Amino acid sequence: MQIGERIKKIRTFRHLTQSELGTMLGFTDSFAKQRISQYESGYRLPKGKTILTLANALNCNPINFEEAKNLGSLEKSMTELFWLEELLGNSFVIFPLNNYFDKQDSRHIYGFVNEYTYSETVPPIAIAIKYNELNRQMYEWALRYQELQQHLISFEEYFEWKINWPKTCEGESGQFTSEFQWRKSPNGN
């Protein structure tokens, strides 16, 4: 998803008009809507301090508006995956793998697809990454995704969690305290 589309999605999520957001960025009333329209259409890209001001106004992580030049950063890689999910919608399924113990099986990882419920002609591909820190972050994402599917959190809470990640990290079983209140109810209910 392009940076302009991200700006528009978060702006509308925050229930702001282009004029309101432009004014929050310090543009004059007559120029505010035009500049935000330019950002959202991709005609202009916010840079430097404007990215920080924009993120502050939209109450989200500034990395959402930075170009994906350096995917070597864990934070940027995760953010790009979050936006890929926004782009693909219901085509995305996130789940943790389960451990199994079989000394006779030489496979490290394997998975299955239920052909009765999976409607696509080509089975999906899974990617396993041997990088513990990334796996920890992906595992938490899978937990939030499961909470969404089980209606334990709302779409709004889930989206808030993603656009403010990693300040929203809680860990596998809440062992961390989130730096950003993304749940509507602090106790998670």
* 3-65 fold: 434 Repressor (Amino-terminal Domain) (1.10.260)
Half-sphere exposure of 185 (CA within 13 A, CB side): 6
Distance CA 38, CA 62 (A): 18
By the 8 A CB rule, do 65 and 4 touch?
no
Question: Could you report the per-residue pLDDT of 27-65, keeping only the tens digit for each?
Answer: 998 899 999 999 999 999 999 899 999 999 999 999 999
Distance CA 159, CA 58 (A): 13
Cis amide linkage into residue 186, ω under 30° from 0: no
What pTM was computed for the model? 0.85
Question: Could you report the per-residue pLDDT of 139-155, keeping only the tens digit for each?
Answer: 899 999 999 999 999 99
* Length of the chain counted residue by residue: 189
pLDDT interval class at 131 (50, 70, 90): confident
Domain boundaries, the chain: 3-65, 74-163
- Determine the pLDDT at residue 113: 77
> For 65-89, what is the mean pLDDT?
84
- Determine the pLDDT at residue 187: 55
> For 125-139, what is the mean pLDDT?
84
> For 88-99, what is the mean pLDDT?
80
Secondary structure element (H or E) that encloses residue 88, with its range: helix 74-88
- The alpha carbon of 134 is separated from its chain's Cα centroid by a whole number of angstroms, namely 14
